Structure 1
Amino acid sequence: MGGRERYVGVAERRARLALRHRLAGPVRGAAPEEIADALVALHGTDPATVYLAVGARLADAARTVPETDRALYEDRSLVRMHGMRHTVFVFPTPLTAVVHASTGLAVAARERAKLVADMAKAGAPDAAWLKEVEESALAALARRGQATAAELAEDEPRLRERFAYAAGKGYEGVHTVSARLLRVLGVEGKVVRGRPLGSWTSTQFRWALAPAHPELDPAGAQAELLGRWLAACGPATEADLKWWTGWKVTDVRRALAAIGARPVSLDEGTGYVVEGDADPVDGPVEPWAALLPALDPTAMGWQSRDWYLAPELRPPLFDRSGNVGPTVWWDGRVVGGWAQRADGEIAWRLLDEEGVGREGEAAIAAEVDRLRGWLGPARVTPRFRTPLERELTA
């Protein structure tokens, strides 16, 4: 790219976010698959986040739960699996092979080696024994279709074997073979999490065999995944890309070169967009409001967040591990937080009132009504609780 890099300011970045993340009213999606594809991935560590993230972006929010259930458990057009940073996400099914090759293979090798090493230190059976148990468990899962770890242990009792790990350390404990093995099989792309035991807010899942997918070249898969993410979230810095993917910086740079990414100038330094995406977005975006859930992929999308989240707002909105709680948005930036109380009421508070005004407060109140309407009797408590969320529910 010859000449000076084009400057992309905060206002333009917020406009891109509104349009590409389906947050502005006119661009909300028609189906969960459309929303997941636009965002590349939905955070799945907290099951409720998947539904709340879809509901915030779905044109017909009343259809959030049945449509997301359909996509996850009937059509299997969305799949919950381990992905970037060894985190559970929900991906469009066609993307699972790309995620597996680009990020899963390296993590899986480390996780299996660690499991075998931990078992050896505890005097547990060896890798050959573990492989035999694995094959038996996968065969049982194929027969059952979906099953909990306890149900699989009825067919393969060796899954109940227990072994100690980290003996003598502050975090020592005892694991069952099933807990560790199913986690490894998930990272390896052999099993995925299936339908929950309870409602859509439940954290207890059945397991299912992963959908078949082709084995891809890791470097090519990294280029495709990074290109998809930049198209949804660009511009982004190299540090943002390294953080989101969990890759080495050499992998990020190789993928940037492979897709012909174009540099632009940001307040944080040099950022990148996909080829052909350096021009300004078309026209202004009307102000919009949103209530996004804890761990929402927009709020957690970048490592450098000052352009949409003021640093002074972070202490009440994040937990000690860096997980964001429920956030209130107005016109492209985080302005507060929200929570659902035990009686179902949605409580919210502005932490930054600058520029919100009556229009913003009215729009936020409308989003509160919209969320309350489709949640109905459901009660949602984030898995990772933050200071403001706790305060609002007290």
Structure 2
Amino acid sequence: MSTALPRITDAQRRARLARRHLPGPGRRAASVREVAESVLALHATDPATIYLSAAARMDNPQHEAIERELYDRDALLRMTAMRCTLFVIPTTLAPAMLAACGRPNAAARTKGLLRQLEQNGYGDAAWLEKTGRATLEAVRERSEATTAELATAVPGLDRQLVVSPGKPYESRRSIATDLLFALAADGHLTRGTRRGGWTSNQHAWALAPALDDVPAPQARAELVRHWLSAFGPGTLPDLKWWTGWTLTETRKALAATDAVEVRLDDGPGYALPQDIEPVDTPEPSAALLPALDPTPMGWRDRGFYLDPAHSPALFDRMGNIGPTVWWDGRIVGGWAQRPDGTIVHRLFTDLGREECTAVETEVNRLNTFLGDRRFVPAYRTPLDRDLTA
């Protein structure tokens, strides 16, 4: 009886990536929720990313329709999740996400806030709990409220914390900043109506919908299964990086699933049992994905779809990826929007006429979607700066 591990090649990994994340003409989604489900969660740190990630994968994207769906809490929620980062996720996944990522983020932020309160002589755990209850009541009375409105309404919330006093990097921030983050990460608050244009990251706060209570180990295992379904096969380091968990938590969560070990071109990996057999390679297609898109941010090790030589141009110093051009499951270039609205791109490799035409078609699709709207990525990369210079 053979004990050899099932093998999944880089070509097969790209085929899965293309089928799940980069649907070509005739296979695109009809809604933002479909898009979010296909990539598990949409990065929301940069407000423009959500719209552009959805539009790239939709058949007939309309800005106003995407806007409406993004604020339909029966379908989608904004949550602080993996790596303390803001995401838009399918509401059905929210209970697991809260238990697996949100509450640990909240506990860490609360611990840090208590330390800062003590250092600044402002209060203790009892004071913080009382202030948190008062903050939630203030939101309940107003239906929605901004951070500034709450800082005015709740005594003590506007106090300034001195962080790293006496250091060259000393800074100040209000108690409201950390407390509201913790309350949201803990599932009490959610981002409500946006204040400002579509690229604004200023939102009012609203009470979060009640979610089922899921034990943390069960929630982590559920999230691993979702990740393997959307991004698998992948490696243990990939999963640890994507979730932000400890190595022990990651191993336990993986062991709690029915994932099986497989052999990838660059070493061991894991996949769901139903994802072992080869998949048909989809018809090659092009895509223009925005900065911080969930696809290129889904793995730590990206060699199966990105030539490492191109990473310095596409990533900033903190590891945030800029806008990318894709063909047939690979990153083949980058793109940017100039201040006058022109979409420009640069290819890293020579493509044939058919491939270049497909890329131009996506440029035109993006231009149609954007119309007269302008945006600048929150994190600028060397290629983005070069293309817009």
Normalised by the size of structure 2, how large is the TM-score? 0.97
1:94-109 aligned within 5 A: 94-109=92-107
Distance 1:274 1:182 in 2: 37
2:330 to 330, 333, 336: 333
Percent sequence identity is 47
Q: Give deviations 1:22-80, integer Å, cap 9, x for gaps.
A: 4333321110001101111111110111110000001112x2x2232222224541111
| Cα distance change on mapping 1:34 and 1:2 into 2, 3 Å | farther
| Alpha carbons 1:339, 1:347 under 8 Å: kept | yes
1:321 Cα offset (Å): 0.4
Q: Which residue of 2 aligns with 1:207?
A: 205
1:227 Cα offset (Å): 0.1
Kindly provide the amino acid, as one letter, of the partner of residue 148 in structure 2: A
Distance 1:2 1:220 in 2: 33
- Of residues 193-202 and 364-373 in structure 1, the stretch that sits farther from structure 2 once superposed is 193-202
1:221 Cα offset (Å): 0.5
1:1-394 aligned within 5 A: 3-61=3-61, 63=62, 65-281=63-279, 283-353=280-350, 356-394=351-389
Q: Give deviations 1:356-388, integer Å, cap 9, x for gaps.
A: 211111100000000000101110100000011
Query: Alignment partner of 1:270: what SS?
Result: strand
Query: Alignment partner of 1:160: what SS?
Result: coil
1:156 Cα offset (Å): 1.7
Distance 1:171 1:344 in 2: 37
| Alpha carbons 1:70, 1:76 under 8 Å: kept | no
Gaps in structure 2 of 5+ consecutive residues: none
Query: Alignment partner of 1:89: what SS?
Result: strand
1:134 Cα offset (Å): 1.3
RMSD: 1.4
Kindly provide the amino acid, as one letter, of the partner of residue 20 in structure 2: R
Q: Give deviations 1:268-324, integer Å, cap 9, x for gaps.
A: 21111112211111x331111000000000011100101111111011111000000
1:216 Cα offset (Å): 0.7
Distance 2:141 2:59 in 1: 39
1:342 Cα offset (Å): 1.0
- Of residues 313-322 and 204-213 in structure 1, the stretch that sits farther from structure 2 once superposed is 204-213
| Alpha carbons 1:289, 1:364 under 8 Å: kept | yes
Kindly provide the amino acid, as one letter, of the partner of residue 30 in structure 1: A
Distance 1:115 1:128 in 2: 13
| Alpha carbons 1:36, 1:91 under 8 Å: kept | yes
Paired residues in the alignment total 389
Distance 1:181 1:298 in 2: 31
Kindly provide the amino acid, as one letter, of the partner of residue 388 in structure 1: L
Query: Alignment partner of 1:335: what SS?
Result: strand
Query: Alignment partner of 1:118: what SS?
Result: helix
Query: Alignment partner of 1:27: what SS?
Result: coil
1:169 Cα offset (Å): 2.1
Kindly provide the amino acid, as one letter, of the partner of residue 21 in structure 2: H
Distance 2:336 2:251 in 1: 40
1:12 Cα offset (Å): 1.1
1:2 Cα offset (Å): 5.9
Distance 1:270 1:166 in 2: 42
Distance 1:166 1:22 in 2: 44
Query: Alignment partner of 2:344: what SS?
Result: strand
| Cα distance change on mapping 1:11 and 1:77 into 2, 3 Å | same
Normalised by the size of structure 1, how large is the TM-score? 0.95
Distance 1:76 1:168 in 2: 47
| Cα distance change on mapping 1:261 and 1:74 into 2, 3 Å | closer
Distance 1:157 1:119 in 2: 15
- Of residues 176-185 and 48-57 in structure 1, the stretch that sits farther from structure 2 once superposed is 176-185
Distance 1:297 1:74 in 2: 21
Query: Alignment partner of 2:65: what SS?
Result: helix
Query: Alignment partner of 2:71: what SS?
Result: helix
1:218 Cα offset (Å): 0.5
Distance 1:316 1:162 in 2: 38
- Of residues 179-188 and 229-238 in structure 1, the stretch that sits farther from structure 2 once superposed is 179-188
| Alpha carbons 1:22, 1:29 under 8 Å: kept | no
| Alpha carbons 2:199, 2:375 under 8 Å: kept | yes
Distance 2:106 2:2 in 1: 41
| Alpha carbons 2:95, 2:214 under 8 Å: kept | yes
Distance 1:358 1:384 in 2: 32
